[in-house]
Structure 1
């Protein structure tokens, strides 16, 4: 893993130690809340505010004109190539903004009242960091709606030293860095919700028998699946 990622994990460890020493504020949620849109790349559901990023795969269709239905990968400069129109800047735009622009471009000499729909097929610009007792820890792209178990599978699954009770998920919520503890055994058995993972999330899996800051954090959590503000 890159040195910058290791520094991020080290900083989170320091935050955990401080939170455990001073008593972290417990924030109970009925459902696992999504991250702040200002700190993450966007959400998958109700994604009108999601901003398209590099390497996202878009599916574009024009109602009644099947020949114009196609997929376009956003390049590193944020551009896509659209039939009849040519190059269009998609990076940084929301889906409704891009639909409106494509509609205007098609209406300018090509189609009458075009109805353009854009669907983000792969959210490749969003990434999740997986660290700890995993076979292939690293930074992975989220190419669709992804759960905690699916994210762990992307990293090759847990290794033989993993403490399945010691899984910590970090996220920015309401302007604060927060963390939640999970028992992966309960998630796999369906006894605990398999939470959705978002871009910029960090997942750390503790090693059995270790005496780290994560162990102190896990002892401080009154119940699994509850977020603590760090």
Structure 2
């Protein structure tokens, strides 16, 4: 019986050499990863929200209901359209900056207009988590967020996760970058915890070694039954 289980374990370990995953050559590692996707300096800090495409916003002109709007959607070009003043570019602006843009344009038609802008719903401030996590999906970012925070949002990694192969994909100036991090080292405070930004994609890699070992462990009770005959 013991010999049968030993042979199964040995076979599983040999199999792991064939199914183990690896990080591609275009993915940065080590110091290069932190150069592209750095950790927060001095701890996570709250950042001003910048309006994105397809976000919905509320615009209020004091005592001017015909110029006010609830749930106005920013279009794919990053613009909104309002009566009288026409199109206004909103993407990339804070609510205060957009309010000032609208106020300046509305001043041609109203005396000292008072404008407020607020976020009704956010589409742009999300992060996507894929791979070996318990609950993959798209999650809203609320305040400063790090890689450990994002994995926690996805209910943690699975038993077959390759924690040394956690990749973050980010668009910087319209170019796509990918950087790998070691989640185990981050948890031990040996590496810094990188900051995650809106529209990042986090992919937790798959460990063939872990899967082969878990498959062997699950098969062990069955092998024990067969060994009795």
TM-score by length of 1: 0.52
Corresponding residue number in structure 1 for 2:155: 156
Deviations 1:105-164, CA, capped at 9 Å, x for gaps: 7757877475x5657697542332211110011233334332211211221211122222
Number of matched pairs: 179
Corresponding residue number in structure 2 for 1:32: 37
> Kindly tell me: are residues 57 and 189 of structure 1, through their superposed partners in 2, closer, same or farther at Cα, counting changes over 3 Å?
farther
CA distance in 2 between counterparts of 1:181 and 1:123 reads: 28
Alpha-carbon RMSD across the aligned residues, in angstroms, is: 4.8
Which runs of no fewer than 5 residues in structure 2 stay unpaired?
1-20, 40-45, 63-69, 81-86, 211-229
CA distance in 1 between counterparts of 2:120 and 2:146 reads: 17
Deviations 1:149-207, CA, capped at 9 Å, x for gaps: 12112212111222222211122235542222211122233332221212332211122
Secondary structure of residue in 2 paired with 1:135: coil
> Kindly tell me: are residues 208 and 30 of structure 1, through their superposed partners in 2, closer, same or farther at Cα, counting changes over 3 Å?
closer
Corresponding residue number in structure 2 for 1:99: 99
Secondary structure of residue in 2 paired with 1:181: strand
Aligned counterparts, 1:62-141, within 5 A: 74-75=72-73, 92=91, 94-95=93-94, 97-104=97-104, 112=112, 114=114, 123-141=122-140
CA distance in 2 between counterparts of 1:197 and 1:107 reads: 39
Corresponding residue number in structure 1 for 2:203: 204
Which runs of no fewer than 5 residues in structure 1 stay unpaired?
1-12, 35-43, 66-71, 81-87, 212-230
Question: Residue 54 of structure 1 contacts residue 91 of structure 1 at CA under 8 Å; is this kept in 2?
Answer: no
Corresponding residue number in structure 2 for 1:185: 184
Instruction: Kindly indicate which of the two structures has a greater share of residues assigned to strand.
Output: 1
CA distance in 2 between counterparts of 1:106 and 1:127 reads: 32
CA distance in 2 between counterparts of 1:102 and 1:55 reads: 17
> Kindly tell me: are residues 19 and 183 of structure 1, through their superposed partners in 2, closer, same or farther at Cα, counting changes over 3 Å?
closer
Confirm whether residue 53 of structure 1 aligns to residue 58 of structure 2: no
Secondary structure of residue in 1 paired with 2:148: helix
Secondary structure of residue in 1 paired with 2:103: helix
Question: Residue 131 of structure 1 contacts residue 137 of structure 1 at CA under 8 Å; is this kept in 2?
Answer: yes
Deviations 1:43-71, CA, capped at 9 Å, x for gaps: x8476xx443334567x899xx9xxxxxx
CA distance in 1 between counterparts of 2:33 and 2:151 reads: 24
Considering Cα pairs closer than 8 Å and 6+ residues apart, tell me whether 1 or 2 has the greater RCO: 2
CA distance in 2 between counterparts of 1:153 and 1:184 reads: 12
Aligned counterparts, 1:3-22, within 5 A: 17=24, 19=26
TM-score by length of 2: 0.52
Secondary structure of residue in 1 paired with 2:133: coil
Q: Highest CA radius of gyration, 1 or 2?
A: 2
Question: Residue 71 of structure 2 contacts residue 120 of structure 2 at CA under 8 Å; is this kept in 1?
Answer: no
